[in-house]
Structure 1
Amino acid sequence: MKGIIFDFNGTMFMDSDLHEAAWLYVIQKYTEKKMTEEDILKHIHGKTNDVILRHFISSELTDEQVEQLSDEKEAYYRKLVLASPNHQGFTKGLKEVLAYSKEKKIPMTIASASPKVNIDFYFDYLNLGDWFEYDQIVYHTGTFPGKPAPDIFLIAAQKIAVEPENCLVVEDSYSGLQAARNAQIGTIVAIDPIGKNREIFAAEGLAQDGIIEDFTRFIPTYLQ
């Protein structure tokens, strides 16, 4: 392993509950559809907003409508983050991992399905610039297919100048783990803080190098 690619939401920042709440708000506002646990696992987390909106609201949405609905959802989500006393920092143990990786000069970046507006928010809210180069972050631009396609991780590996087989990916989502596998990433680690998806990740071979709850043992397990 010579480089680290982190997913962000639900991995570096434990905000899956807030994204679910924001999506529930938008979906219930514009449709009568209900979100099941399987929907959340396979059709929400790790997916890009355009895919989610066209799946749940209408496949006929125009690009302009998608942009408007996406902006509404993300604004609501960011409002939830700022109002939540439980969402003010990184996942447990992650700061130590970032400091260690920076000290050891391990190339690292973020590959997220989030839009640019959220990445900008995270750089301000969590001071991501202390550890990451902005121009190396990969986020959703609409110019490449989203997870589970491999593109996002292949682009991320290229940005840190490390071959995919020499990268370690940390992911929490079903589609994100599929994307890492499709990209032939060398080391794939799932993070599942409450054991919600452990069985399906293991059953489908999506966490070939382990499932962690947080980053407290990450350095001795994967970086030394």
Structure 2
Amino acid sequence: MFQDKKVIIFDMDGTLIDSVGIWNVVDRELITRLGGEALDEMSIQQKRDELLRSFSHTQDAYLEYCDFLAHTYNAPFSKEEIRSMRYAIAQHYLKNVIDFKPDAHTLLHYLKERGYQLVIASTTSQNNLNIYIHENNAMRQKVNFEKIFSLILGREMVSKIKPHPEVHHFIMQKLDVTPQECLVIEDSLVGLEAARNAGIDVIAMFDTYAKHEEAELKKRSIGYFEDFRTLLLHVQKEHGTTI
């Protein structure tokens, strides 16, 4: 899987970090503040994923998502104000709760030591990524982002979010590599589609909140792994090494 690869591209939310459930909690609180009923978190996630996919061609899909919330709950706020409310609710979780998935940081160090260029390509905002990089102490103790990653790209870096392949085209141009020299590690179908639309092979990682996509992820990826420890053991085997 890693043979002849030079660049390994990681999604962030749901892949490297346990965060999808946190965003469900955030949106549940936001909807309640807007006067909506306290929906179950899976319903919130599925609706958010559906909307973000439909808004992926827009300049700011998350802003359009907030506009949807404004109209749905007849909120007396602009979409910009609702987005600010959403981020205000999220601050505690971003700084103090979210962390790397078990063994994700170990895999990152292993790949870096063996000469791969590592990239984050996320649909989360650059502001959120900066919180992880500079203010989340649990994550900072495990990974020096500036040293480990060649590029860290939030959604503002491109005009179209996943499943559009723009972010991957940007990475390949920036690092002067071909699709065959890249490998993407993702947890969701929308991320898998973005990579495949760019002609890049995909490894899929299990995430509790993408369980409903598991069969399709297994079918359309070159490998599916339950956790990072299992993936690390596979990479070690490919390289003939052990930790």
The reply to whether TM is greater than 0.5 is: yes
Q: CA deviation at 1:39?
A: 5.3
Q: CA deviation at 1:83?
A: 4.6
2:107 & 2:23 partners in 1: Cα distance? 25
Q: Percent identity?
A: 23
Contact 2:28 2:44 in 1 (8 A): no
Task: Choose which of 37, 40, 48 in structure 1 pairs with 2:42.
Answer: 37
Residue 11 of structure 1 aligns with an amino acid whose one-letter code is: T
Alignment partner, residue 164 of structure 1: 179
Residue 71 of structure 1 aligns with an amino acid whose one-letter code is: S
SS at 1:144 equivalent: coil
Task: Choose which of 171, 195, 203 in structure 2 pairs with 1:189.
Answer: 203
Q: Output one character per residue of 1:19-72: Cα deviation in whole Å (capped at 9) or x when no partner.
A: 11112222332253756736524633994422422344349xxxx943332232
Alignment partner, residue 176 of structure 1: 191
Alignment of 1:1-224 (within 5 A): 1-30=5-34, 32=36, 34=39, 37=42, 40-41=45-46, 43-44=48-49, 47=52, 48-58=61-71, 65-84=78-97, 87=98, 89-124=99-134, 125=136, 126-127=139-140, 128-133=145-150, 136-141=151-156, 143-185=158-200, 187-194=201-208, 197-198=210-211, 200-203=213-216, 207-222=220-235, 224=238
Q: Output one character per residue of 1:155-196: Cα deviation in whole Å (capped at 9) or x when no partner.
A: 2333333222321111123322221222221x21222244x5
In the alignment, structure 2 segments of 5+ residues that lack a partner are 53-60, 239-243
Q: Output one character per residue of 1:114-154: Cα deviation in whole Å (capped at 9) or x when no partner.
A: 11211110111223224124xx2211117511111111222
Q: 1:159 to 1:201 in 2, by over 3 A?
A: farther
SS at 2:110 equivalent: helix
2:180 & 2:162 partners in 1: Cα distance? 18
Q: TM-score, normalised by structure 1?
A: 0.80
SS at 2:86 equivalent: helix
Residue 23 of structure 1 aligns with an amino acid whose one-letter code is: D
- Corresponding residue pairs, total: 214
Q: Considering only aligned residues, what root-mean-square deviation do their CA atoms show, in Å? A: 3.0
Q: For structure 1, which segment, 9-18 or 75-84, has the greater mean C-alpha deviation from structure 2 after superposition?
A: 75-84
Greater gyration radius: 2
Instruction: Report the structure, 1 or 2, having the larger helix content.
Output: 2
Q: 1:79 to 1:170 in 2, by over 3 A?
A: same
In the alignment, structure 1 segments of 5+ residues that lack a partner are none
